[in-house]
């Protein structure tokens, strides 16, 4: 998917490929459940979750994978052992198919982010 121009997350989810919609909807549900007090926005063409106006989490449907952006280096370091086996860039977990998303890991990352504010990279 090329960067979306959707005005909101509901619209974004209608634009994603059908075979990814359920997984992305589940990611959204997890974010909304675990990130109490965060604001859901569209940023850089993808759903993002902000605290005090700063994005800490985002996700997107890319051409070759589903990406989950974790913009907190402190949380990445805390989960280094669990993230070592994942396809991960500096701040982006890449899941090469909806079935490969580790929702337990994502939930635990979201809980760690929500537990306390921290520096955003």
pLDDT digits (tens, 9 = 90+) for 81-99: 999 999 998 889 999 989 9
pLDDT at 22 over 80: yes
How far are the Cα atoms of 7, 27, 73, 102, 112 from residue 107, in angstroms, in the given order? 26, 9, 17, 9, 9
β-bridge partners, 93? 68, 88
* CA–CA separation, 97 and 117 (whole Å): 31
Which has the closest alpha carbon to 24: 82, 55, 68?
A: 68
Which has the closest alpha carbon to 52: 37, 74, 33?
A: 37
Which one of 3.40.50.10610, 3.90.1150.200, 3.40.50.150, 1.10.40.30 gives the CATH number of domain 9-115? 3.90.1150.200
User: What's the average model confidence in pLDDT over 40-65?
Assistant: 96
- At 18 the pLDDT is 94
pLDDT at 1 over 60: no
Asked if residue 66 lies in contact with residue 23, where contact means CB atoms within 8 angstroms, the answer is yes
Counting residues of the chain whose pLDDT is more than 70, the rounded percentage is: 98
- At 12 the pLDDT is 97
- What's the chain's average pLDDT? 94
pLDDT at 3 over 80: no
- At 2 the pLDDT is 60
Query: In the chain, where do the E strands start and end?
Result: 39-43, 46-51, 54-61, 66-70, 92-95
- At 121 the pLDDT is 83
Backbone phi and psi for residue 61, each to the nearest 5 degrees, phi listed first: -95, 110
β-bridge partners, 43? 46
């Amino acid at each position: 998917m090329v960067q979306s121009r959707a005005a909101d997350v509901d619209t974004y989810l209608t634009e994603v490929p059908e075979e990814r919609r359920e997984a992305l909807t589940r990611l959204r549900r997890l974010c909304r459940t675990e990130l109490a007090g965060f604001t859901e926005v569209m940023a850089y063409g993808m759903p993002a979750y902000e605290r005090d106006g700063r994005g800490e989490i985002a996700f997107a449907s890319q051409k070759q994978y589903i990406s989950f952006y974790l913009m907190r280096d402190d949380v990445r370091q805390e989960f280094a052992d669990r993230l070592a086996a994942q396809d991960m860039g500096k701040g982006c977990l890449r899941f090469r198919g909806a079935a490969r998303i580790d929702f337990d890991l994502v939930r635990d990352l979201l809980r760690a982010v929500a537990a306390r504010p921290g520096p955003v990279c």
